[in-house]
Structure 1
């Protein structure tokens, strides 16, 4: 009796033998299944990618809205308007960025040979301090003196003929209009306006203050510095709004390095 296996061998040995369509059936089914699996895998990867992308969009949106809040957008608009004024353009020349290894704040020049005022907490614990002017000049700052009890520090940079702001002999008056110029959040040279709300042991101002404004000059309409910003505080006394806190200029003057000021 002839075995079916022998029939298969005869077919392979026959040079005229050709496979029938049925011989490819399982291979075609396997290819179709693989294609379906590949399509499903692609859809799954695409779905995961969409979910991840959506999560990233929401995360970025959260950061955007936390940084670019309505108040922040308003103060940027105000800064743009004020920065068109010639006097504000001039004041900006003397306002500097004070950058440490782990901190960034504001300061301002008060003499043409490089005496800088900022906050103590801006330079505290920093081994190297860089001071950048509006036009791009960059200097290494040396701490001359620092007073943590009033949060004021004086730096020296090696410069000549530098722009500077004059200091008022007296603190500003209540309801007096003022400018504040500083480096809040991730921006630099932002100008804002407000008024002096109180002026006793502290100068309290209505101008918006953000992280990075520490060391900003409070400038009166005569172009003189009447206080130095060091913090902000939310209080019920002014409708629950945040107010800026500043060191009155009279206190700063009492701690000035001897004879080291261009008036």
Structure 2
């Protein structure tokens, strides 16, 4: 149970750090844009000094021009007076622009920001709440409930022993559940978990990961038998040969739902149901079954009475689990022997 909560905390911290890193990158890009804009103005001042500041040479020319005007002492026409006034207005506007530019150079903080800071903060908040929504979507209230149930059931000696035999079946397409049925490394799981996969890995909580190969499969009953190379020393589970499925009978099952591992849960039997043209009916289970529970063993009286393979929805129950009888598993194991 502690490991499950630790995994939730790890995912939350990871997402928060990722968002903080992204926000810092946004701020760095923003600051670089501001400094680049400032440097462009500085470069313009260095490249075009005549644009903003009159040189001494221009001053001399202006004085000579004024001296020549004074010597000629001719009377200006009305048109020339208007041109002179216009030139003075242009010079005043230029001086005002230069003064403003000098003020902004000396006071960079006074420059208007191209991207308002509140927009950056808004983007950061949106990114912050995205992983929070994702976490609540994955770890919903029902999920928290089955974590509590698993913690309670795992204190029982029989369930603690059963959990040692239950493994995670990993492929390039995802994961499911499997369980050990023989000391030589035979693992039972669902066919849809390992079908058309190139690599299969079986992982036990304490013993680690082991390569496995597909040695038998039943696509009609959605069953598969895996063979582990160099199998670990784990307990094996006993398959019931003649189980009786009585409605409202309590059963327990162990699997790897959602992003969790080794979750024990319980439910009650609903009854038989014909499914997808099978000759033998499947059994409906009123219990919290989720994606990742495929291949989970269902227990009754210290025996495995079935293998979870899917979920469906009933008007009177809502979402319910479905499992295949243990007799079908025993028939498939005969092909391996």
TM, length-normalised to structure 2 = 0.65
Distance 1:33 1:253 in 2: 83
Q: Secondary structure at the match of 2:333?
A: coil
Cα distance between partner residues in 2 of 1:140 and 1:216? 20
Which deviates the most, 133-142 or 119-128?
Answer: 133-142
* Count of aligned residue pairs for this structure pair: 239
Alpha-carbon separation, structure 1, partners of 2:316 and 2:244: 20
Residue 82 of structure 1 and its aligned partner are, at CA, apart by 1.0
2:270 match: 197
- C-alpha contact (below 8 Å) 2:295/2:309 kept by paired residues: yes
Is there any run of 5+ residues in structure 2 with no aligned partner, and where? 1-57, 64-97, 274-280
Does the Cα contact within 8 Å between 1:120 and 1:147 map onto a contact in 2? Answer: yes
Q: Is this contact kept in 2: 1:209–1:244, CA < 8 A? A: yes
- Aligned-residue RMSD, C-alpha: 2.6
In structure 1, distance between residues paired with 2:178 and 2:284: 19
In 2, distance between residues paired with 1:81 and 1:254? Answer: 34
Residue 201 (structure 2) pairs with residue 130 (structure 1)? yes
Distance 1:5 1:138 in 2: 87
1:83-108 Cα shifts (integer Å, max 9, x gaps) = 11111110000001100111210010
In 2 relative to 1, CA 184–28 (structure 1 residues): closer, same or farther, beyond 3 Å?
same
> What is the Cα deviation at residue 259 of structure 1?
7.4
1:92 pairs with 2:163: yes
Partners of 2:232 and 2:137 lie apart in 1 by 41
Q: Which residue of 2 aligns with 1:230?
A: 309
Given that residues 215 and 229 in structure 1 are in contact (C-alpha distance below 8 angstroms), is that contact kept between their aligned partners in structure 2?
yes
> Is this contact kept in 2: 1:120–1:152, CA < 8 A?
yes
Q: TM-score, normalised by structure 1?
A: 0.82
Residue 243 of structure 1: which of 320, 324, 330 is its match?
320
Contact 2:216/2:336, CA 8 A, preserved across alignment: no
Match of 1:50 in 2: 121
Residues 156 and 25 of structure 1: is their aligned pair in 2 closer, same or farther, counting only changes over 3 Å?
closer
**Which structure 1 residue ranges, 4+ long, deviate > 6 Å from structure 2?**
none
Secondary structure at 1:143 match in 2: strand
The correspondence for 1:184, drawn from 232, 257, 268, is: 257
Residue aligned with 2:261, SS: coil
Report the CA distance between 1:203 and its aligned residue.
1.2
Paired with 1:27 and 1:52, the residues of 2 have a C-alpha distance of 32
Give the CA deviation at 1:51: 1.5
Taking structure 1 as reference, are residues 121 and 259 closer, same or farther at Cα in structure 2, changes over 3 Å only? closer
Q: Which has the higher contact order (CA 8 A, sep 6+)?
A: 1
> In structure 1, how many angstroms separate the alpha carbons of the residues matched to 2:99 and 2:116?
30
Structure (1/2) with the larger helix percentage: 2
The aligned residue for residue 75 of structure 2 is none
Asked if the contact 2:104–2:111 (Cα under 8 Å) also holds between the matched residues in 1, the reply is: no
Query: What's the CA shift string for 1:4-44, capped at 9, x where partnerless?
Result: 946x99xxxxxxxxxxxxxx965653336743225x35xx3
Q: Aligned partners of 2:196 and 2:297: how far apart in 1? A: 23
Q: Look up the SS of the partner of 1:227 in the other structure.
A: strand
Conserved? CA contact 2:212–2:226, under 8 Å: yes
Task: Describe the SS at the equivalent of 2:149.
Answer: helix
8 Å CA contact 1:95–1:108 kept in 2: the answer is yes
Q: CA deviation at 1:257?
A: 2.8
For the residues of structure 2 that align with 1:225 and 1:91, how far apart are their CA atoms? 10
Is the Cα contact below 8 Å between 2:104 and 2:110 reproduced in 1? no
